[in-house]
């Protein structure tokens, strides 16, 4: 087969494959021309944004307002019209504490336990997630053997559903799981990982890092690859030490990506639920019960579903996330201004 | 147009009209179902038979996990998006969503005379007929008799206390190096029977819930101590949070547990999974100072009032509730009948397994010994609030997050707060 034949074949293939797209464009051409004629060229961005805005409004903004309204109501009825206005009573119940440091003195002790557990989880998860992602990205940015393979390996867990991730690790960590079998074969005793609060929290953090690290590594890797190589070449010619290159060239230029990683990890960390819920069920006791699980239990798993209290807790969580986002914006702005 | 073309077009139009007519006459109903074993197979065969007799009604059996029945179904029903028929275990808690079948039944008297006592569980306030029990259950323990024989430890006899059973189970476990001497399902329902045996009253004299009293404290303290001294494994009660249900059926089936507190619904599963691998043996509910009781319970098939086809739903329910159909359902699934006529006349259970037969006999024989308090608790609309408070707070005490006294205090608060929230609506 000649190269000319190949070209014509691929050209034909391309034509066949692009045919539906071409047809779609033809169908859309008329109405879009009409919209542009009626609304003018300035209206076109809004036309293209409209589907996304409608989706966002329907599934994010409207539920946000409904949730806010529910937090001022009580009772167990589901529909807004059947609910009783209670003012700020649900917030009063959440914040009714003898001492905020000791959850056992609070009326909603599990809410505060959830807050403290979430804070602990987020702190360690974010620190180690960013650290490991950075190290991995730095290694994968080098010209090592089978680099593509390792990139795929690190990214693979991101593709798995959180429930699958949690179930895999649960099977590994159970009393008769692979890890305990390995420990026994090495002459150690079995460890009941899900009975010890410390181990349960450790594995919650570990599994979360394992599952998400690939995504953040990818962001940092993109940042590393965007750094012009001539800067490194110049530093090498100057005989600059490796550590100095890292702190003076790599880190400052990687900072925008780092910021994205930190903020995304923080927000995702605060929202942690599915993986840990399947892995530990929030136990032992309430050792790994996070704020989202408290909201879920209060609103959905109890026999009497307290939507008002669950909504109030959601609003508190929303405020925390809002503050984190503002901090991110402030940090980005300061950097851009500076 | 040629004559042939006209014929083809005419025939096509006629087929379309006929098909559309058929589609319009078809009523599709949804039955939400969960399985303890594989009872959906028997239900499906009954539904197929119903469809043969009533080709205009199709019932789609939607099989979901038990968790979806507990957590998802109530929200679906509250939103008016529930199924037409569902198998439920929160019998009184969902009563506001049930359809009263009475006006649609050909013989309502058949229902009241055969399901009478259980209809009150479905409608604590009134006289409605909303469904029937797909199984009557009784909580109680199973023991691995083979392990007792191998360890040469005598099994405590009838009338033995929980403490005596715990001691015997520990002795067997120690001798044979069995990891878990005793396991209980992590469920407030399972604890309630033994707590009543220890003297728990569960309600005040005027019928208000009063979960924590000396009887309940005695049982809870025993459970707490057994978790500390290794009689019970912390993995089950201590490894999850809140009111999460966990069973030890797999551990028992794998001979890792000497004594397992669960209930009659495990019989078909054990008959299938354990078979004759070892002697699994149901024993009467151990005693306390006040009683030797388990908890009654079960699952019911109920019709939902949001259905668009109440007549058809009633037709399905009436068919399934007929004595011959229920006899087949209970018999094939090895379920204790929730039909008084069948309970009186006896059922031909589809098993020649001596252990399964003995277990059925033991649990059915326990019905008359069930404490009236246990019946009241089972019929109480908010019993799950009490069960959940009990199990979640006791779980927190077992792992050391709360002292037992703090746990008792929290149990009372949890029940009061949740019921107060419900009563805001005037319910």
Name the residue in chain A with its Cα closest to that of B398: A285
- Dihedral angle computed from the Cα positions of residues B399, B400, B406 and B408, in that order, rounded to the nearest 10 degrees: 30
Contact check, Cβ <8 Å, A302/B385: yes
| Rounded Cα gap, residues B258 and B400, in angstroms | 26
CB B82 within 8 A of CB B76: yes
* % of chain A residues with pLDDT over 70: 96
Show the tokens assigned to B101. 């079948």
Q: Which residues pair with B209 in a beta bridge?
A: B203
**Ramachandran angles phi, psi of B254, nearest 5°:** -90, 15
Q: What is the pLDDT of residue B7?
A: 60
Segments of chain B scoring below 50 in pLDDT? 1, 18-19, 21, 23-24
3-class secondary structure per residue, chain A: CCHHHHHHHHHHHHHHHHHHHHHHHHHHHHHHHHHHHHHCHHHHHHHHHHHHHHHHHHHHHHHHHHHHHHCCEECCCCCHHHCEECCCHHHHHHCCECCCCCHHHECCHHHHHHHHHHHHHHHHHHHHHHHHHHHHHHHHCCCCCCHHHHHHHHHHHHHCCHHHHHHHHHHHHCCCCHHHHHHHHCCCCCCCCCCCHHHHHHHHHHHHHHHHHHHHHHHHHHHHHCCCHHHHHHHHHHCCCHHHHHHHHHHHHHHHHHHHHHHHHHHHHHCCCHHHHHHHCCCCCCCCCCHHHHHHHHHHHCCCCCHHHHHHHHHHHHHHHHHHHHHHHHHHHHHHHC
Contact check, Cβ <8 Å, A302/B418: yes
Cα–Cα–Cα angle for B314, B66, B216, rounded to 5 degrees: 105
B→A interface, C-beta within 8 Å: 70-71, 74-75, 78-79, 90, 93, 234-235, 238-244, 382, 384-385, 388, 395-396, 398-402, 406, 410, 413, 418-419, 421-422, 424-425, 427
C-alpha radius of gyration, chain B, whole number: 24
Max CA separation in chain B (angstroms) = 94
SS3 B58: strand
Q: Which CATH class is domain B138-296+365-423?
A: alpha beta
Q: What is the pLDDT of residue B358?
A: 93
Checking if the pLDDT of A335 tops 70, the result is: no
Which pLDDT band holds residue A336 (cuts at 50, 70, 90)? low
Q: What is the pLDDT of residue B253?
A: 96
Name the residue in chain B with its Cα closest to that of A78: B78
Q: Please provide the size of chain B in residues.
A: 427
Q: How many CB atoms lie within 10 A of CB A49?
A: 11
| Rounded Cα gap, residues A262 and A35, in angstroms | 42
SS3 B242: coil
CA distance A148 to chain B (A): 40
User: Choosing among A114, A284, A298, A299, which should be mutated to test the B contact, i.e. which has the most B CBs within 10 A?
Assistant: A284
Name the residue in chain A with its Cα closest to that of B90: A303
Contact check, Cβ <8 Å, A281/B395: no
What is the domain partition of chain B in residue ranges? 25-136+297-345, 138-296+365-423
CATH superfamily of B25-136+297-345: Periplasmic binding protein-like II (3.40.190.10)
Q: What is the pLDDT of residue B37?
A: 78
| Rounded Cα gap, residues B139 and B292, in angstroms | 11
Q: pLDDT tens digit string along B21-42? A: 454 468 999 999 999 877 999 9
CB B294 within 8 A of CB B366: yes
Contact check, Cβ <8 Å, B422/A304: yes
CB A83 within 8 A of CB A308: yes
**Mean pLDDT on A243-267:** 91
A→B interface, C-beta within 8 Å: 74-78, 82, 84, 86, 104, 107, 109, 175, 192, 194-195, 197, 200, 280-289, 293, 297, 300-306, 308-309
Checking if the pLDDT of A264 tops 80, the result is: yes
Q: Please provide the size of chain A in residues.
A: 338
Q: What is the pLDDT of residue A1?
A: 46
- Closest to B377 measured CA to CA, from B261, B264, B211, B221: B211
**Using a CB-CB distance cutoff of 8 angstroms, which residues of chain B are in contact with residue A107?**
413
Interface A-B: count of C-beta contacts within 8 A: 114
CB B332 within 8 A of CB B45: no
| Rounded Cα gap, residues B130 and B108, in angstroms | 11
Provide the CB-side half-sphere exposure for B152 (13 A, CA): 0
Contact check, Cβ <8 Å, A82/B422: no
**Mean pLDDT on A96-109:** 92
Checking if the pLDDT of A273 tops 90, the result is: yes
| Rounded Cα gap, residues B419 and A223, in angstroms | 55
Checking if the pLDDT of A225 tops 90, the result is: yes
- Dihedral angle computed from the Cα positions of residues B384, B386, B388 and B391, in that order, rounded to the nearest 10 degrees: -140
Q: Which domains does chain A have, with CATH numbers?
A: 10-57 (no CATH), 82-337 (1.10.3720.10)
Q: pLDDT tens digit string along A26-69? A: 898 888 899 999 989 888 999 999 999 999 999 999 999 999 99
């Amino acid at each position: 087969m000649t190269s000319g034949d190949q070209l014509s074949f691929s050209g034909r293939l391309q034509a066949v494959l692009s045919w539906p797209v071409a047809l779609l464009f033809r169908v859309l051409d008329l109405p879009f021309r009409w919209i542009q004629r009626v609304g003018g060229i300035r209206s076109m961005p809004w036309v293209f944004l409209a589907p996304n805005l409608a989706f966002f409004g329907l599934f994010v903004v409207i539920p946000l307002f409904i949730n806010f309204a529910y937090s001022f109501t009580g009772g167990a009825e589901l529909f807004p019209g059947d609910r009783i206005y209670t003012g700020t009573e649900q917030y009063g119940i959440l914040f009714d504490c003898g001492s905020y440091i000791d959850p056992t003195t609070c009326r909603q002790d599990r809410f505060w336990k959830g807050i403290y557990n979430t804070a602990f989880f987020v702190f360690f998860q974010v620190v180690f997630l960013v650290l490991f992602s950075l190290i991995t990205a730095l290694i994968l940015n080098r010209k090592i053997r089978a680099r593509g393979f390792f990139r795929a390996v690190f990214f693979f867990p991101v593709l798995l559903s959180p429930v699958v991730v949690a179930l895999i690790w649960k099977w590994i960590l159970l009393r008769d799981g692979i890890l305990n079998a390995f420990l026994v074969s090495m002459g150690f005793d079995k460890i009941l990982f899900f009975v010890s609060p410390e181990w349960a929290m450790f594995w919650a953090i570990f599994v979360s890092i394992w599952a998400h690290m690939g995504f953040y590594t990818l962001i940092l890797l993109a940042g590393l690859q965007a750094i012009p190589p001539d800067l490194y070449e110049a530093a090498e010619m100057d005989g600059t030490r490796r550590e100095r290159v890292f702190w003076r060239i790599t880190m400052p230029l990687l900072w925008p990506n780092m910021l994205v990683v930190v903020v995304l990890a923080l927000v995702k960390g605060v929202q942690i639920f599915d993986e840990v819920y399947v892995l530990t069920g929030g136990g032992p006791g309430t050792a790994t019960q996070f704020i989202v699980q408290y909201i879920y239990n209060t609103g959905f798993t109890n026999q009497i579903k307290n939507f008002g209290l669950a909504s109030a807790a959601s609003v508190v969580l929303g405020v925390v996330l809002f503050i984190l986002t503002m901090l991110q914006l402030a940090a980005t702005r300061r950097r851009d201004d500076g | 147009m040629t004559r042939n073309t006209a014929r083809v077009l005419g025939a096509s139009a006629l087929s379309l009209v006929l098909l559309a007519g058929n589609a319009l006459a078809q009523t599709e109903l949804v039955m939400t179902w969960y399985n303890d074993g594989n009872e959906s197979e028997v239900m499906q065969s009954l539904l197929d038979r119903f469809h043969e007799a009533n080709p205009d009604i199709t019932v789609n059996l939607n099989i979901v996990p038990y968790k979806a029945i507990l957590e998802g179904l109530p929200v679906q029903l509250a939103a008016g998006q529930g199924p037409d028929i569902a198998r439920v275990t929160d019998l009184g808690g969902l009563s506001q969503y049930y359809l009263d079948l009475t006006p649609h039944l050909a013989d309502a008297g058949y229902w009241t005379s055969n399901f009478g006592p259980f209809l009150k569980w479905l409608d604590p306030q009134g006289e409605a007929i909303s469904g029937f029990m797909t199984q009557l259950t009784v909580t109680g323990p199973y023991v691995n008799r083979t392990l007792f024989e191998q360890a040469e430890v005598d099994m405590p006899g009838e009338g033995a206390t929980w403490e005596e059973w715990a001691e015997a189970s520990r002795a067997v476990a120690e001798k044979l190096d069995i990891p878990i001497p005793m396991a209980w399902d992590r469920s407030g329902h399972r604890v309630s029977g033994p707590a009543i045996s220890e003297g728990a009253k569960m309600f005040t004299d005027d019928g208000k819930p009063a979960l924590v009293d000396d009887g309940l404290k005695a049982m809870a303290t025993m459970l707490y101590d057994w978790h500390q001294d290794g009689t019970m494994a912390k993995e089950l009660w201590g490894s999850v949070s809140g009111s999460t249900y966990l069973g030890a059926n797999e551990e028992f089936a794998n001979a890792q547990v000497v004594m397992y507190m669960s209930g009659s619904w495990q019989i078909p599963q054990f008959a299938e999974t354990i078979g004759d691998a070892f002697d699994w043996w149901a024993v009467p509910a151990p005693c306390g100072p006040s009683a030797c009781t388990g908890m009654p319970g079960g699952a019911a098939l109920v019709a939902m009032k949001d259905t668009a086809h109440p007549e058809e739903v009633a037709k399905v329910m009436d068919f399934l509730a007929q004595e011959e159909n229920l006899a087949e359902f209970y018999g094939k699934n090895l379920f204790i009948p929730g039909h008084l006529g069948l309970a009186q006349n006896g059922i031909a259970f589809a098993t020649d397994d001596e252990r399964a037969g003995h277990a059925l006999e033991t649990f059915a024989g326990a019905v008359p010994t069930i404490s009236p308090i246990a019946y009241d608790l089972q019929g109480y609309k908010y019993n799950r609030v009490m069960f959940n408070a009990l199990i979640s707070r006791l779980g927190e005490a077992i792992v050391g997050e709360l002292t037992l006294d703090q746990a008792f205090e929290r149990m009372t608060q949890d029940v009061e707060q949740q019921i107060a929230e419900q009563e805001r609506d005037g319910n």
